[in-house]
């Protein structure tokens, strides 16, 4: 019984932070004011979006919020940098915002997420594309920090995903989101490996939720490239679930492993080539081989979706792929993955990438 356990045997504190409300549907942005009504966020909203997104959904969102008595301020998101986060944080104070809304793709949502974290205010996520799981996770990525990977912020208090808007986004964005989802297959295996080797905490529920998200897109791979609203909804809900898995785990472990380290290393060796999720998907092909998983299943699913599976698909050279594979293990030295066990050299990395057909 717990009462008989020694104090040093008591499990460490584990905090789960999750969205309070998730709304997914078609043509729902016109109901934004009503959707947020029962969250008691206050009445002063600061909307963060890009110029194109404002043109597409601006009138609808502003009208819905103002109709319900919200005072609405808005800002166009600049570059995804720490300086821009600081600027938005200052605007938040200046206008006396009671909550922030990030509307758009990764940039606007990440900037709003970190600015709300800095300002200790709630944040609402309104994705207009399904390119990565940051729409629901407590992690954000901007340039200018001391690391090439995401940092901890806060999860959104609410997510409002209008499938009719998201389905109009370019197909490569949707495919990138699928690559990010498929990568959970290797991320969870890396997490299990770390638990076995180092004793790191492993959460079975969050791991299985992440795997379920990956399985959803793998099983619907052939339909995703058609970009039907049903397929888009599957991807959106899977991305939301994956982000929630990270919130339950209290870390990015169920969603980010050696394949993400490869993607971040590619940002260094081949900057500007390929989207984050695309590179994560390619990384999963490689890391699945190292783990002894069915890498061809991953590769075939990505191909069916129209996702890149080899270096030339994203304009990267063989040398850039090889350098990224060797560098990846050093991106986050505190994170144990399959790369700690295999210790790739330029020669073994080249052989591996060739064997799985990435180069």
Provide the residue ranges of all domains of the chain, joining segments of one domain with +. 21-169, 173-355
| pTM of the entire predicted model | 0.90
Tell me, yes or no, if the two domains 21-169 and 173-355 fold the same way.
no
Top-confidence range, 154-168, 238-252, 344-358: 344-358
DSSP character string of 38-92? GG---SEEEEEE-HHHHHHHHHHHHHHHHHTT-EEEEEE--SSBHHHHHHHHHHH
What is the tens place of the pLDDT at every residue in 244-272?
Answer: 999 999 899 999 999 999 999 999 999 99
Region 173-355: CATH code = 1.20.1090.10
Q: What is the pLDDT of residues 109-143, one digit of tens each?
A: 999 999 999 999 999 999 999 998 889 988 887 77
Architecture category of domain 21-169 in CATH: 3-Layer(aba) Sandwich (3.40)
The larger pLDDT score, comparing residue 1 to residue 118, is at: 118
Q: Which of 37-46, 222-231, 278-287 has the lowest mean pLDDT?
A: 222-231
Give the separation between CA 20 and CA 41, rounded to whole angstroms: 12
Identify whether the C-beta of residue 101 lies closer than 8 Å to the C-beta of residue 45. yes
Output the pLDDT for position 204.
Answer: 96
Does 320 have pLDDT greater than 80? yes
């Amino acid at each position: 019984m717990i009462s008989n356990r020694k104090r040093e045997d008591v499990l460490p504190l584990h905090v789960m932070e999750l969205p309070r409300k998730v709304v997914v549907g078609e043509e729902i942005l016109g109901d934004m004011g009503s959707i947020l009504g029962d969250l008691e966020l206050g009445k002063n909203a600061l909307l963060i979006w890009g110029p194109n997104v404002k043109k597409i959904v601006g009138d609808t969102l502003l009208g819905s919020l103002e109709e319900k008595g919200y005072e609405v301020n808005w800002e166009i998101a600049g570059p995804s940098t720490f300086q821009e986060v600081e600027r938005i944080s200052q605007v938040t104070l200046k206008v006396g915002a009671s909550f922030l809304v990030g509307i758009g793709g990764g940039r606007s949502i990440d900037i709003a997420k970190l600015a709300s974290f800095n300002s200790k205010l709630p944040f609402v996520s309104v994705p207009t594309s399904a390119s990565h799981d940051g729409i629901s996770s407590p992690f954000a990525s901007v340039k200018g920090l001391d690391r090439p990977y995401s940092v901890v912020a806060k999860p959104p208090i609410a997510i409002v995903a209008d499938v009719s808007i998201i389905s109009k986004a370019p197909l490569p964005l949707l495919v990138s989101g699928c690559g990010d989802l498929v990568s959970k297959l290797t991320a969870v295996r890396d997490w299990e490996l770390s638990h076995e080797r180092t004793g790191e905490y492993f959460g079975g529920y969050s791991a299985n939720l992440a795997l379920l998200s990956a399985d959803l897109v793998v099983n619907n791979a052939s339909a995703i490239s058609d970009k039907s609203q049903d397929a888009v909804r599957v991807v959106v809900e899977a991305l939301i679930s994956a982000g929630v898995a990270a919130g339950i785990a209290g870390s990015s472990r169920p969603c980010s492993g050696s394949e993400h380290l490869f993607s971040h290393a590619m940002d260094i060796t081949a900057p500007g080539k390929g989207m984050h999720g695309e590179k994560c998907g390619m990384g999963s092909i490689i890391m699945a081989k190292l783990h002894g998983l069915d890498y061809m299943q991953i590769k075939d699913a990505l191909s069916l979706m129209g996702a890149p599976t080899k270096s030339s698909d994203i304009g990267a050279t063989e040398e850039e792929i090889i350098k990224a594979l060797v560098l990846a293990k050093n991106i986050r030295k505190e994170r144990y993955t399959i790369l700690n066990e295999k210790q790739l050299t330029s020669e073994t990395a080249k052989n591996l990438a060739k064997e799985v057909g990435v180069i």
